[in-house]
């Protein structure tokens, strides 16, 4: 019985490979009619042909119910690569799964043509085909989801790296321009970067510029104060600057205060204060005539 089953599905695939590929392509093109900007027809054709070329031998040699068997490995690998590339190209999960599910309609149509009279055999074959294609489709979606998660994770890491630079303004003066909200994990990164830079440059002053911080609530203020306290333990004085008028008002309303930390309106004011602290003067030359 089982051998029979395998033979029938495989038979259909081997005999009608050309026609099935055409039918399947037509199905896909109608389903993806709106997404022709993302993938070209020749590309889709190549992917489909390659899939069928791998699918048919897998059907012939392997079990039709267990896609985890080694015979199905090349098919799964190919599906994973298609799914991954589609995740990067910007397809939606259902559009990606359609790649496999659209084969179902073609396959069922051919099955009906072959086994039209034998209702029992037809039902059996349909069930096997459906289960198999469902499994493959779900696998595609799973890989798609995973690759999307990888992309998100990578972007998060990049953002974390990008948004926390520590720059040396002058001998003994560091600046930390903060952009974006300051949650606990980012505070940790900022703190580590700042403290390491203090050690590396031997700086006495650190200017924390919060012009790019959209909201300052009690939690963010506390995180800032932690950073200031840690820098102080390393022998560096912190100056907080770039508090926008709106934010200053909100902070006063909330009762948030930076305690005895020096605060300045702009980075320029903070730098001038820092120069005074390290006994450095900037002199405006008389204009040249």
Partner 1 sequence: MEQIPILQVGEFLLVSIQVDLHDRLVLRLQDDLTAQVVKKQAKGVLIDLSTVEIVDSFIGRMLGNMAALSQMLGAHAVVVGIRPAVAITIVELGLSLNNVHTALNVDKGIALLQTLVKQSSAEVRDEAYPL
Contacts with partner 1, residue ranges (CB under 8 A): 188, 191-192, 195-196, 198-199, 202, 204, 226, 229-236
In angstroms, what is the minimal distance from the CB of 157 to partner 1?
A: 21
Close Cβ partners of 114 (under 8 Å, ≥ 6 residues apart): 8, 12
111 vs 195, which CB is nearer to partner 1? 195
DSSP three-state, residue 51: helix
Nearest-approach distance from CB 188 to partner 1, in angstroms: 8
CB of 195 to partner 1, least distance (A): 3
Q: What is the DSSP string of 237-262?
A: EEEEE---HHHHHHHHHHT---TT-E
Of 37 and 279, CB closest to partner 1: 279
Question: What is the distance, to the nearest Å, from the Cα of residue 2 to the centroid of all Cα atoms in its chain?
Answer: 43
Give the whole-angstrom CA distance, residue 270 versus residue 280: 13
The Cα–Cα gap between 277 and 182 comes to: 28
Determine how many CB atoms are found less than 10 A away from the CB of residue 137. 21
Closer Cβ to partner 1, 195 or 243, answer by number: 195
Nearest approach, Cβ of residue 80 and partner 1 (Å):
41
Query: Whose Cβ is closer to partner 1: residue 52's or residue 262's?
Result: 262
Give least dist CB 150 to partner 1, A. Answer: 30
Task: Using the minimum distance from each CB to partner 1, give the nearer residue, 66 or 192.
Answer: 192
Structure tokens at 211: 């012009």
């Amino acid at each position: 019985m089982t051998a029979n089953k395998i033979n029938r599905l495989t038979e259909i695939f081997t005999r009608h490979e050309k026609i099935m590929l055409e039918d399947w392509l037509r199905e896909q093109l109608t389903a993806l009619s709106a997404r022709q900007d993302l993938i070209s027809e020749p590309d889709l054709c190549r992917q489909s042909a390659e899939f069928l070329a791998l699918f048919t031998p897998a059907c012939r040699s392997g079990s039709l119910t267990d896609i985890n068997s080694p015979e199905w490995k090349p098919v799964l690998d190919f599906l994973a690569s298609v799914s991954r590339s589609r995740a990067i190209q910007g397809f939606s999960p259902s559009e990606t799964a359609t790649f496999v599910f659209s084969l179902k309609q073609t396959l069922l149509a051919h099955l009906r043509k072959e086994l039209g009279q034998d209702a029992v055999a037809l039902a059996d074959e349909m069930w096997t085909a459906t289960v198999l294609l469902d499994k493959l489709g779900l696998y595609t979606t799973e890989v798609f989801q995973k690759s999307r998660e990888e992309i998100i994770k990578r972007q998060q890491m990049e953002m974390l790296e990008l948004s926390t630079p520590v720059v040396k303004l002058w001998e003994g003066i560091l600046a930390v321009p903060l952009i974006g909200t300051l949650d606990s994990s980012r505070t940790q990164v900022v703190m580590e970067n700042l403290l390491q830079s203090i050690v590396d440059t031997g700086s006495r002053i650190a200017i924390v510029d919060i012009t790019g911080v959209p909201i300052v609530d009690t939690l963010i203020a506390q995180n800032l104060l932690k950073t200031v306290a840690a820098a102080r333990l390393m022998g560096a004085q912190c100056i907080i600057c770039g508090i926008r008028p709106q934010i200053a008002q909100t902070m006063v309303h909330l009762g948030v205060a930076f305690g005895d930390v020096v605060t300045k309106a702009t980075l320029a004011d903070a730098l001038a204060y820092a120069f005074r602290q390290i006994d450095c003067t900037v002199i405006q030359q008389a204009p040249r005539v």
